[in-house]
Amino acid sequence: MNHHVLSPNSAATPVALSGQWQVPSTPQNLDPRLNANAQHMIQTQQLSQQRYDLEHNLDMGPERLGLDFLLDGNQRPNKVSNGTDITPTSTLYQDISRESERESSEHHRSNSVTSSNVNHNGGSGMMGHSAPIRNSHPTCPLDSLLLDFLHERQQRAAEGVATPKLVGPAYPSVSSLLNPARSVHSHPLSKVFTDILATFPDLSTLPEQVAVLYIMFLIMRWQISPTQENYDRLPDWVTPRPSQLFTPHPAWIDHLPWPKMRDRLVRDYNPRDYLFDNFFIPFTTTLSLNWPYEPTDTLLSSPENDDLMINPVFERHLRRLENWSLGPAFATTFPGLADTCRIKLEGDRRL
């Protein structure tokens, strides 16, 4: 991997571990002219180089930057005994994730209080974090997949299967995004969503794939096991709106990031205006996380094994709703939803 010398105007790649990271001067993406196999090969080569660098403790030299410029003062990664600004994967991941979850918990606890003692039938006695979403009958194949999987997990819970086995790891398996063949070894909760993402060819860039996988995974994990802990892990903008609890609606709407958009669709849904088959193309083709670094910087490669994990810096990035956007084509297709999300116009350089 090439060394890049930082200039005053360059954007530094977020270095969460020791390793030789490319430092792009401008946000970079894979050449759209490359086919899917070529893109997969490039991403695999970049991650292999990253793993080699980590294993051999390679350093970028004096220009290497740490995470300090992105983290709050109490989230600085610790230094190892040799004084180099290196934090082992597991330690950095746990420290930043713990702080991120603590911050989000403060938001969600307030949400739980305001919606407590309410269930989807308007009765009392049900805590907000356990109030179920009220879905209609399936309106599309995605609805069927989501509802069938949820009901299968709930049925197994009723049969006495332990919750840890039902929901699996706290984070989705991201390795299969680069190597779909590995999804067969993933927990069913990860596999169902990596399989779903594979059916949307326009959702082909890694930051958007990882972000959508992360959000859908957390929502379903909470639905299977509606505990306070699982509810608190949801970004506040993903927690169910009252409309989702009281009004029957298609399940696919629950996985959209913008709460105002979900409210509007639940209120106004009809298959003539918002058929999913017409909705998903302008949505997936224009969805952007506005990640200003290399796509593979969304992931970290463990030096101990072949496992991949979500870069904690990218996790913080995707948990901020202001970093999500759609394009003008979506607003043109669905003008009634244009004010419910961020539409990124040409020339808009905000992250």
DSSP calls for 117-171: T--TTS-SS--GGGPPP-B-S--SHHHHHHHHHHHHHHHHHHTT--HHHHH-SSS
pLDDT for position 47: 64
Question: Does 286 have pLDDT greater than 90?
Answer: yes
Residue 74 lies in a domain: no
d(CA 176, CA 56): 25
Average pLDDT of the chain is 74
pTM: 0.67
Q: How many domains does the chain have?
A: 1
How big is the chain by its Cα radius of gyration, in Å? 21
Q: How confident is the model at residue 42 (pLDDT cuts 50, 70, 90)?
A: low
Residue 276 lies in a domain: yes
Output 122 or 77, whichever has higher pLDDT.
122
Residue 58 lies in a domain: no
pLDDT for position 276: 95
Residue 90 lies in a domain: no
Residue with tokens 């918990």, as numbered in its chain? 105
d(CA 42, CA 45): 5
Lowest mean pLDDT among 17-26, 296-305, 308-317: 17-26
Lowest mean pLDDT among 63-72, 181-190, 302-311: 63-72
pLDDT, one tens digit per residue, over 324-344 is 999 999 999 999 999 999 999
Q: Is the dihedral of CA 254, 98, 73, 310 positive or negative?
A: negative
Q: What's the average model confidence in pLDDT over 84-99? A: 39
Residue 112 lies in a domain: no
Q: What percent of the chain has pLDDT over 70?
A: 61
Question: Chain centroid to CA 76: how far?
Answer: 23
Residue range of the domain that includes 194: 119-340
Count CA atoms closer than 13 A to 15's CA, side-chain side.
Answer: 26
